[in-house]
Amino acid sequence: MTAYLITNVSVLGAAPTNLLIRDGVVAETGVGLTAAGAVVVDGTGLVALPGLVDLHTHLREPGREDAETVETGSRAAALGGYTAVCAMANTSPVADTAGVVEQVWRLGREAGLVDVQPIGAVTVGLAGERLAELGAMADSAARVRIFSDDGHCVADPRLMRRALEYVKAFDGVVAQHAEEPRLTEGAQMHEGEISTRLGLTGWPAVAEEAIIARDVLLAEHVGSRLHICHVSTAGSVGVLRQAKARGVQVTAEVTPHHLLLTDEKAVTYDPVYKVNPPLRTAADVAALRTALAEGVVDIVATDHAPHAVEDKECEWAYARPGMLGLETALSITLDVLGPQWDLIAERMSRTPARIAGLTEHGHDPAPGAPANLTLVDPAARRVIEPTELASRSCNTPYARMTLPGRIVATFLRGEATVLDGKAVK
């Protein structure tokens, strides 16, 4: 196994030091540390962070390998500074059996670029009618702990309650895509002034807030863990704040795009801005930023949603919702939070690792810790060119924007997956 000596690097913003990575762990740290035979990585000007962990990634395999595969998505993740991603269940076939989750898990191991942790569906075929084999997926080689029908809401309160009860047995968590379907029929964008002006059917904030309010009550009643996917409204933040004050075991994520972009983008009618939940107002963005800083929203998760050209470059109403996220998430978060490295590590690595039960991830680079880490150049600025991304799809909303920060290197269990800003394999 190659040993790496990273010189003159700042761990989470601290004074520069050297880091020795050997046998899968951070072996030693210290100013002036040397190691014969180790590959030297010049860390001057770079910040070392625990490898990022994404709780919400769509890898599209099996079924839509034309949009992304486990391998191409894993490469995009490593280039974005990630060492683990949780793969959403809305594949084809749906990841609702031990067989499918084991397949995704095995493909992740074969790609070997990040740890791919499959998420299991809550209901068979994401149809919202019968519970899937939650126990069999938990007991499988993939050791599934997060269950989600993401893309669809588990709208039936009885099914939601039973899922919450079931996952308690193995400390699992139900990740809800909060969208009351009766309130969003035909919805194309955020319901507000701009949807009215454009004549597009609106997706009202209350459709998200009503489900979150219901589900925190169910989670409180059952005494189980609930996670809320892609929180997008100020009202949702209010519901979460109250629930957390009461001690409900609820966590929540926000996406980079909901921290940066607003429904004004719909004026372009460019479907690259179509996403579910939709881009909201500037007031929502401000509330989400505050909630993330305070911890009312626990983590940043990408909702990386690659789509093939024919599903995106068409009329707004026919386009699939979703945006790429893995290769730009750190840059957007850095832009939003500034160089608050400890906070970034908390929101993008430690807390998502804890929610997902990924015990090998989310550790600061310190002696004895598993060598899952990433090196960021905070001073770099880069122009996003969609065709240059490692993802098989191009649907980034940040095309030709100049973003701060660049991932220079990523290490998974002591092996470099990215060096000099390029994927190693």
Q: Rule CB under 5 A: which residues touch Zn ion?
A: 150, 177, 229
Q: Which is nearer to Zn ion, 73 or 414 (CB)?
A: 73
Binding partner selected for residue 257 from ligand DOR, Zn ion, none, CB under the kind-specific 5 to 8 Å limit: none
Q: Give 2 or 92: the residue with its C-beta nearer to ligand DOR.
A: 92
Distance in Å, CB of 229 to Zn ion, minimum: 5
Classify residue 335 as exposed, middle or buried by CB count within 10 Å of its CB (0-12, 13-18, 19+). Answer: middle
What is d(CA 391, CA 105) in angstroms, rounded to the nearest whole number?
19
Which among ligand DOR, Zn ion, none contacts residue 305 (Cβ within 5 to 8 A by kind)?
ligand DOR
278, interface contact from ligand DOR, Zn ion, none, CB < 5-8 Å by kind: none
Tell the smallest beta-carbon distance from residue 37 to ligand DOR (Å): 46
Q: For residue 44, count CB atoms less than 10 angstroms from its CB and return exposed for 0-12, middle for 13-18, buried for 19 or more.
A: exposed
Which positions ≥6 away from 194 have C-beta within 8 Å? Answer: 263, 264, 266, 267
- Please state, in angstroms and as integers, the Cα–Cα distance from residue 418 to each residue in 52, 74, 83, 347, following that order: 13, 11, 11, 22
Residue 210 or residue 344: which is nearer to ligand DOR going by CB?
A: 210
Task: Specify the residue, 176 or 349, whose C-beta has the smaller distance to ligand DOR.
Answer: 176
- Give burial (CB, 10 Å; 0-12/13-18/19+) of 15: exposed
CB of 150 to Zn ion, least distance (A): 4
CA distances from 18 to 46, 57, 405 (A): 12, 33, 21
One DSSP character per residue, 94-125 reads -S-SHHHHHHHHHHHHHH-SSEEEEPBPSBGG
Toward Zn ion, which CB reaches closer, 75 or 307? 307
Distance CA 70, CA 85 (A): 10
Minimum distance from residue 293 beta carbon to ligand DOR (Å):
25
Least distance between ligand DOR and beta carbon 156 (Å):
18
280: partner contacted, choices ligand DOR, Zn ion, none (Cβ within 5-8 A by kind): none
Task: Report the nearest approach of ligand DOR to the CB of residue 152 (Å).
Answer: 8
75 makes contact, choosing from Zn ion, ligand DOR, none, with CB < 5 to 8 Å by partner type, with: none
Q: Please calculate the CA angle 354-109-123 and round it to the nearest 5 degrees.
A: 60
| Kind and range of the H or E run holding 4 | strand 4-11
Q: Which partner in Zn ion, ligand DOR, none is near 58 (CB below 5 to 8 A by kind)?
A: ligand DOR
Q: Which residue is nearest to ligand DOR (CB)?
A: 322
**Nearer to ligand DOR among residue 150 and residue 284 (C-beta):** 150
The residues binding ligand DOR (CB under 6 A) are: 58, 90, 150-151, 177, 275-276, 305, 320-322
Q: Does the annotation count 303 as an active-site position? A: yes
We find the least distance from the C-beta atom of residue 238 to ligand DOR, in angstroms, to be 22
By beta-carbon distance, which residue lies closest to Zn ion? 177
Closest CB to ligand DOR among 222 and 279? Answer: 279
Active-site residue (options: 54, 96, 149, 303):
303
Q: How far is Cα 320 from Cα 13, in angstroms, rounded to an integer? A: 40
From 154, 308, 324, select the one nearest 255 (Cα to Cα). Answer: 324
Among Zn ion, ligand DOR, none, what binds residue 189 when CB lies within 5 to 8 Å by partner kind?
Answer: none
- Tokens of residue 294, six digits: 């305070």
Looking at the DSSP bridge assignments, the partners of residue 252 are 228
| Beta pairing partners, 181 | none
Which residues are annotated as catalytic? 303
